[in-house]
Amino acid sequence: MQYIVLHELPGRLRLQLTLPRRPAVDPAQVEAYFQDLAGLLKVSFNPGTRCLLIRFDPRLASREAVLGRLESAPPPRSLRRRPPSTLERKKKTVIRSGTLLLMGPLFPLPVRTVLAVLGALPIFRKGTAALANGRLNVDVLDASAVGAAMATRDFLTASVISFLLKLGDYLEEWTRKRSHTLLAGLFHVGEEWAWVVRDGRETRIGLDEVREGDTVVARMGSFIPVDGVVLDGEALVNQACLTGESLPVARRRGKSVYAGTVVEEGSLQIRAVKVGTDTRAAQVVRIIEAAEDLKAETQSRGEALADQVVPYSFLLSGATLALTGNPARAAGVLLVDYSCAIKLATPLAILASLARSARRRVLIKGGKFLEKLAQVDAFIFDKTGTLTEATPQVAEVVAFKGFDRDFVLREAACVEEHFPHPVATAVVRYAAAQGLIHAEEHAEVEYVLAHGIVSRHHGRRIVVGSRHFVHEDEGVDVTAAAGYRDAFARRGYSLLYVAIGRELAGLIAIHDPLRPDAKSFIAALRNSGIGRIVMLTGDNEATARTIAAQVGIGEYYAQAFPEKKVEIVRQLQKEGFTVAMVGDGINDSPALAEADVGISMTHGADIAQEACDVLLMGGTLADILAARTIAREAMGLIRTNFNHILVINSAAMAMAVTGVAPPVVSAAVHNLATIGVGLQALKPLRRRK
C-alpha cells in the first residue's frame, strides 16, 4: 500500500494513504494491520482525510517495522468490511436519539410526539419482554417511568429519559468492552491477522482462517499468532506474558512457541499446532471470562438484594402518587433502581481483579475463589515442588547384603524411567551421569499412587518406593537401613528404598533443595495475618522435622499420603478455618479439590492443575501473597462500590419523592452513578502491580 509521511516524531507517525474514496474503506480493517505489532500504543485511521496516525514504543517497535506493515499490505479492494459490533450499534442509537432530542423544538408538536413514542419503543419492548417472562426488573421500571411521563403528555421528559437510558446502556456496554479489551490485551488474543505460506507464497489472512498444519511466518516485532513448532529460522522470543521469564529465549527448528509471545529478534516459520481459541493464551483468557459465571457470594447476595428492591420501587411510586397526586414525582421514583449499578459494577470488579492477577501470572478460576482467597486464614503446603525447587537430585546410593551399588542404581533407574515424576527423573538422570546403561529386561511396570513402583526382573519382584510401601505393604525387612535413615534425615534428605526378591537391596538418598525464598515467604505469610500454616510431606518424621525447621513452620505431618492430606484439610475446616491447600503432585489433587481454595504450580501434574482453583503460572511463592492482596482489595472495592450505589441512588430517590428535582434529574443522577461505579470497578486493571 502506498503512503506519504506527513509528520513524524520519535514513536509517532502521521501518514497519508493512497486510497480511493469509493468504495469506502473500513477504518477498522486498516487499523487491524498493526494490531499484532509489539509496542503499539495507538492507531487510528480517518477515511475522510485518508490519514493514519500511529503511536508506538520505540523500544519495542522500529520506524521500519511500522512502515513495513504498510508496504506489505494488500491492495485496498481486498480490505473486507465487517458487520458493526454491539457497541457500534448502541453508539449510533445514542447519536441518533441525541440529535433528534436537540432538533425537537424545530418540529411541530405532532411530530415531536411521534418521535418520542418511536424513541421509547425499544424501552417498552424490553419491559414487556421482562413481564412476559415473569420478571419484575429494571427494564419494567424504565418502561413504566417513560410510560408515566407520556401518560401526563410530558413528551419532552419522556424523550430526555429515553435518551439517558440509551446513553447509559451504551456506556455500560463500553465499560464491559473496555474490560474485555484490556483483558485480551494481556495475552494479545483479540481479532488479528497472520502471515501464512500457501501455494508457495506468503499470504495475509484473518487469524480465524488459520488452520492446524499451516505454516505461519512471524518476523521481528510481531506477536506469534499460534501455538506451534518452529520449522525454520531462528529468533529471540519474549514469553513473559505466559511464563513470566524476564529475558527472551532462543527458538529454532524443533522448539515450541506460543500465541501471544513476541519475536524480539529474527524470524520464524512455524507449523501451527493449536490455533484460535485452542491456544494456551486464549484458554487463559477464556477461563477468566468464564470465571464471571462462578459468582462470589458477595455478588450473588448483592444482586439478589437489588432484585428484591424492584417491587418496593413500584410500591413507593404508588404511595408517592397517592399522597402527592403528582405523577412526575411518581415517575421519578421509577427511574431510580439499585440493581443496574450492582449488576454492572460487581462483576466488572471481579473480572478486572481476575485480569490483574493474570497479569501477575496467577490464574484464579472464578469470582467465588477470589472471594475465598481473600478470606483464607490457614495455609497447607505440600513440601515437594512448593517449598522445594521440584528439581530433586540423587545425593548418595547405598547397597546392602552383597548387592552392588551400581546394580541397585541401574535397576532402580530401569523401572523409574517409566514414571514421569521429578524424583524418578532424578534417579534416571543420575544413573545416566554415572554411565550406567540398562536393558529393558523387566516385566510391565505398575505404579502405586503415593507409594512407589513394582515390577519383576528375571522372575524376582523389584520394588522401589517409600519405607512404608517397602516395609509395611511389601513385608521387606528394612532394619539394615535404620542408621542411614536417621543420618540422611538430619541432612534433610528423602529416601527411596529398593527391594529385590523381597530383600532390601539399597537406599537412594534424594536431596530436593529448598526454594531460596521459602523461609522469607513463610514469614511474610504469617505477618500478613495467616494464623495457621501447616507442612505436609511423604518423608519420615526426622526429615519432615528438619525441613519444617529450616523454613520456619512449626506444624507439620510426616508420611502424609493422599487420604491423610484430605483428612487434615477437613479437620482445619471443622475448626472454623478457611483453608488454602498448595500442592503440585498427583497425590495432592484430592486435597486441592477438598480445600476452600486449591493452589497449584504451573509445573505440577496435569490433574493437579485441573483440580486447583488458583494456578501459579509464574511458579513463585511470592505470587501467592500477590494474589491474596489482589483478592482482598477486590472485596474491599466491591463493598465500597455497593455503599456508593446505596447512598447515591437513595439520595436520587429522596429527591424524586420530595419533588426537589424533576424526573430527568433523578434519571441523570442514577445513570451517572451507574457509570461512575462501573468505571471505578475497572480500577484493578489500571494498576501496574
Query: Which residues are designated catalytic?
Result: 382
Which of 114, 29, 35 is closest to 80 using CA atoms? 29
Sort residue 135 into left (φ over 0), alpha (ψ -120 to 50) or beta.
beta
195 phi and psi angles, rounded to 5 deg: -95, 125
The DSSP-derived string for 189-216 is -SS-EEEEEETTEEEEEEGGG--TT-EE
SS3 label, residue 266: strand
Which of 137, 146, 149 is closest to 166 using CA atoms? 146
Instruction: For the sheet with 614-616, list strands across it.
Output: 362-364, 614-616, 597-601, 579-582, 378-382, 532-536, 555-557
What are the C-alpha distances in Å from 108 to residues 103, 112, 118, 121, 303? 11, 6, 16, 20, 44
Q: Please check whether residue 227 is in contact with residue 258, taking contact to mean a CB–CB distance below 8 angstroms.
A: yes
Q: Quick count: other Cβ atoms within 10 Å of Cβ 198?
A: 10
> What is the spatial distance between Cα 287 and Cα 289, in angstroms, rounded to a whole number?
6
587: its cell numbers: 497425590
Helix axes 622-658, 663-681, angle to 10 degrees: 180
Q: What is the 3-state secondary structure (H, E, C) of 413-467?
A: HHHHCCCCCHHHHHHHHHHHHCCCCCCCCECCCEEECCCEEEEEECCEEEEEECH
Distance between alpha carbon 646 and the CA centroid of its chain, in Å?
A: 30
> What is the spatial distance between Cα 153 and Cα 458, in angstroms, rounded to a whole number?
99
Distance between alpha carbon 551 and the CA centroid of its chain, in Å?
A: 30
Which of 200, 238, 232, 244 is closest to 220 using CA atoms? 238
Which of 138, 135, 151, 121 is closest to 321 using CA atoms? 151
85 phi and psi angles, rounded to 5 deg: -80, 170
582: its cell numbers: 498448595
> What is the spatial distance between Cα 388 and Cα 513, in angstroms, rounded to a whole number?
6
**ω into residue 75 within 30 of 0, thus cis?**
no
Exposed/middle/buried for residue 653 (C-beta within 10 Å: 0-12, 13-18, 19+): buried
> What is the spatial distance between Cα 549 and Cα 599, in angstroms, rounded to a whole number?
23
Residue the block writes with cell 493464551: 281
H-helix or E-strand containing 19? none
SS3 label, residue 308: helix
